[in-house]
Amino acid sequence: MITMKNIIREGNDTLRAEAKKATFPLTDEQLQLAHDMMEFLENSQDPKIAEKYHLRAGVGLAAPQVDVSLQMASVLVPGPEGEAPLFKDTIVNPVIISHSVQGAALSEGEGCLSVDRDVPGYVVRHDRITLRYYDIDGNQHKIRLKNYPAIVCQHEIDHLHGILFYDHIDHEHPFTMESEDLVIE
Ligand code: NB4
Ligand code: NI
């Protein structure tokens, strides 16, 4: 089971490396990792389990964050109470093949399980993306995402390229953005 102990923190070079593309079929070890990453997200979103194991809540987790430099990330964006998740999958070799000009940022800024401090500021990303990725079975998917799930996937894809959320923050003017950009609650 993945806990906070398994998650590496800023300063570790793996977080700044370009992760290696996966090849199919995934190895048993890679399949196990995908399972464990998704299980971490589920556990972290369950208040009882999260408290018991001291897990910080997460909606995404990328393999480099557990010190595996591989292009794989799990995403679990919950839907409205009692409804299906807005997005749930482990994305392998993801590529943003097109995106809106319109930007969007979470009103609260972003946090990262690999960053143990608050870094305030808007992280302006693409509001809408077309994402190509493979699932763990090697099936190709091409999907359109907008708003919150699109932001989460962009945060995870950044990890696969050694980018951390605060790289996008204008530290002189952390909460300034273009008037066209969307603020997501
Ligand atoms: C990834 C996110 C940071 C910004 C937005 C948010 C949380 C993370 C990091 C975009 C992607 C993890 C991976 C949350 C959270 C809302 C939904 C459902 C019920 C609690 C949960 C809390 F926990 N970020 N944490 N940060 N990362 N929303 N929510 N809620 O997930 O570092 O690279 O359970
Ligand atoms: Ni992160």
Q: Summarize pLDDT for 15-43 with one digit per residue, the tens.
A: 999 999 999 999 999 999 999 999 999 99
Task: Please provide residue 68's backbone torsions phi and psi, each rounded to the nearest 5 degrees.
Answer: -115, 110
- pLDDT given for residue 178 in this prediction: 87
Q: What angle do CA 5, 9, 13 make, to 5 degrees?
A: 120
Q: Which residues lie with the beta carbon below 6 Å from any ligand 1 atom?
A: 45, 57-62, 65, 78, 106, 110-114, 151-152, 155-156, 159
The two beta strands, 125-126 and 103-106, are: antiparallel
- DSSP-based helix, strand, coil % in the chain, nearest 5: 30, 25, 45
Atom of ligand 1 nearest to the CA of 156: 33
Q: Within the chain, which residues score under 70 in pLDDT?
A: none
